[in-house]
Structure 1
Amino acid sequence: MAPVSLGVLASGRGSNLQSIIDACRRGDIKAEVKVVISDRQDAYALKRAEKHGIDAYYINIKDYQDKAAYETKIVELLRRYNVQLVCLAGYMRLVGPTVLNAFPWRIMNIHPSLLPSFPGLHAQKQALDCGVKVSGCTVHFVDEGMDSGPIILQACVPVYDDDTEDSLAERILEQEHKIYPRAVGLFAEGKLIVRGKKVFIREAGND
């Protein structure tokens, strides 16, 4: 079976992109990153892609008349590379209907909290401000809301009394790099089933 073709949207350093590339190259998951697209010209994710011989594109939203036109360009690129699954890796824009309709339940995101708690920006600060004892990260399918799509995998991380945003973020990131490739691998194996707001993981031999 041919590897699943991945397209990655990123706005920053792309450490989760790197974890997915590494998992693909090791053969841990039956997938291959075909294209990386960023809305920021200086995103290090673009350099990571180029380093690994992956086609990388910067698309400036200001070059388009509106968000729909900007997203139409993204969809055009993703389709050019026959992308089957879109992965958001630190992509700092809310995905709109143009992309969502082109890839229904084929867009994944990772968020640094145990959703549905602490969606949106500064999730680690939200967790610390609320005094929770456990935080973590969540891989989910993307819908029209803010970090509100069906949850695929989660990992827990303890919150310590002396934690800062940076120290908590660092421990959470370690888990992100584990569960994001795992979720992509489950998709590649056809094991993810979305029913309403829930994702079911199909075990071998079960339909």
Structure 2
Amino acid sequence: MKVAIFASGNGTNFEAIAQSEQLANAGLDIKVLVCDKPGAPVISKAQKLDIPVFINDLNDFPTREDYEQRIVDKLEPLDLDYIFLAGYMRVVTNVLLSRYPNKIINIHPSLLPKFSGLNAIERAFDSGDDQTGVTIHYIDEGVDTGPVILQEVVPILSSDTVDTLEQRVHENEHKMYLKVILDLIKNESENNNFEKGID
């Protein structure tokens, strides 16, 4: 399964996916990391893993649509099956969505629709709620909307700080993303076999 991963920051989810022997053995092929932030730590992580990097800075383009068209042009020859957003801090527009319908998946550190948008972990911690969580979903033109694939609760403990809560949320993110990707690979394989007439 050929994929691109989009990330903007530290790239902990990117690293968990890229270093997973289970995903590699199942057939995951990461064709490129797309990053909108020159100098982001995720870039060096990809380079150490010999994964090609495409840096595309929104500041270099007159419009968001032009920025995304450049990404589409870059990805087109790769014949991708999916795009995984892993801490990508841009709202995706119809330029990318129309080219990859139902093929772009995002992970968000809350129980959507609660705490959509930025700083979700901090906002959940400050809310007084006793739980937050992680949501993996297909994306549409909204912010952190689109059909949910998987959601899991992460309790907010009385002893938590923002840092300890963030650590547990990230641990859940890594496990959940790997599970979802494995399921996608399995489904793709079954669909391909069905189309070929293989039982």
Q: Establish whether TM, by shorter chain, passes 0.5.
A: yes
Aligned CA distance change for structure 1 residues 105 and 93 (closer, same or farther; 3 Å): same
Amino acid at match of 1:166: D
1:12 aligns to what?
Answer: 9
Deviation, structure 1 residue 26: 5.5
SS class of match (1:121): coil
2:192 aligns to what?
Answer: none
Alignment of 1:155 onto 2:145: no
Render the CA deviation track for 1:125-171: whole Å, top value 9, x for unaligned.
Answer: 22122221121111111111111111111222111123222211111
Aligned length: 188
The one of 83, 91, 99 equivalent to 2:88 is: 91
Computed over aligned residues only, the root mean square deviation of the Cα atoms, in angstroms, reads 1.5
TM-score normalised according to structure 1 size = 0.85
SS class of match (1:189): helix
Deviation, structure 1 residue 48: 1.3
1:176 aligns to what?
Answer: 173
Q: Which runs of 4+ in 1 moved over 4 A?
A: none
1:71 aligns to what?
Answer: 68
Deviation, structure 1 residue 62: 1.8
Would you tell me which structure has more helix in proportion to its own residues? 2
Can you give the 5+ residue segments of structure 2 that lack an aligned partner in the other structure?
A: 189-199
Percent same amino acid among aligned pairs?
A: 36
Can you give the 5+ residue segments of structure 1 that lack an aligned partner in the other structure?
A: 192-207
The one of 120, 132, 136 equivalent to 1:135 is: 132
Work out the CA distance in 2 between the residues paired with 1:7 and 1:25: 18
Amino acid at match of 2:54: Y
TM-score normalised according to structure 2 size = 0.89
Would you tell me which structure has more strand in proportion to its own residues? 1
Work out the CA distance in 2 between the residues paired with 1:64 and 1:79: 19
Deviation, structure 1 residue 33: 0.8
Amino acid at match of 1:117: K
